Amino acid sequence: MDLIKIGKFISSKRKEKDITQSELAEKLNISDRAISKWENGICLPDAGNIPILCEILGITINDLFSGEVVDMKDNEKKLEENLLEMTKIKEEKDKQLLALEYVIGFTASVTFLILIFIASYLEMGTWLRILLIVVGSIIFAFGVGNALKIEQVAGYYECSDCHHKYVPTYQSVFWAPHMGRTRKMKCPNCGKKGWHKKVLK
């Protein structure tokens, strides 16, 4: 995906429609800076803004990602290319997220242990001791909660029976027994309970 080409395309379509950057920003309810970032090829519009942006510019989503108006006969091929690329981007993002999960989980656990250790072994008043334990527990709960949230949304879980891939609810991830990232959950497709592996594709 060529961000520069996409940016130039957005810019030229906007000018064609005789809309300024700030007018476009206002229509999308975002800052002028965001528009200029897209147009300079620094980043892509957020998924949430894309449909309205395309409507305003009078282009298809496929045109947007191709950075040009796609000829009807090339449409399907371009669409496939763009979808493939989007999948790759999501995979890469999911990979980074899952790495972050480890960092958050690890940091929260270590902080918790250090605070509990200090509270248990160092001389101090009772209230300070209680405060340290409470703060430690909050950090731990927050860290684990966020790590689980990442694990829920990044990638998919694959059913061990029917190989159906799905994104589970936060609740089911939270309560599921697990070994690493493999969790015992109920498959929404075949209804069987089993150990479902985390997969990125």
Binding site for Zn ion (CB under 5 A): 159, 161-162, 164, 187, 189-190
Helix (H), strand (E) at residue 200: none
Q: List, as one string, the DSSP characters of 146-170.
A: HHHHHHHHSSEEE-TTT--EE---H
Q: Nearest approach, Cβ of 166 to Zn ion (angstroms)?
A: 9
Q: How far is the C-alpha of 64 from the C-alpha of 112, rounded, in Å?
A: 47
Which residue lies nearer to Zn ion by CB, 30 or 190?
A: 190
Q: Which residue has the tokens 């147009």?
A: 39
Q: Nearest approach, Cβ of 185 to Zn ion (angstroms)?
A: 10
Three-state DSSP class for 196?
Answer: strand
Which residue lies nearer to Zn ion by CB, 137 or 189?
A: 189
Q: Nearest approach, Cβ of 198 to Zn ion (angstroms)?
A: 15
Which residue lies nearer to Zn ion by CB, 132 or 187?
A: 187
Q: Nearest approach, Cβ of 158 to Zn ion (angstroms)?
A: 9
Which residue lies nearer to Zn ion by CB, 11 or 182?
A: 182
Q: How far is the C-alpha of 57 from the C-alpha of 52, rounded, in Å?
A: 9
Three-state DSSP class for 190?
Answer: coil
Q: Nearest approach, Cβ of 14 to Zn ion (angstroms)?
A: 47
Which residue lies nearer to Zn ion by CB, 103 or 162?
A: 162
112: amino acid identity, one letter: F
Q: How far is the C-alpha of 112 from the C-alpha of 34, rounded, in Å?
A: 39
Output the six-digit token pair for 37.
């970032």
Nearest of 123, 131, 197, 128 to residue 164 by alpha carbon: 197
> What sign does the dihedral 184-88-70-50 (CA atoms) show?
positive
Q: Nearest approach, Cβ of 189 to Zn ion (angstroms)?
A: 5
Which residue lies nearer to Zn ion by CB, 181 or 186?
A: 186
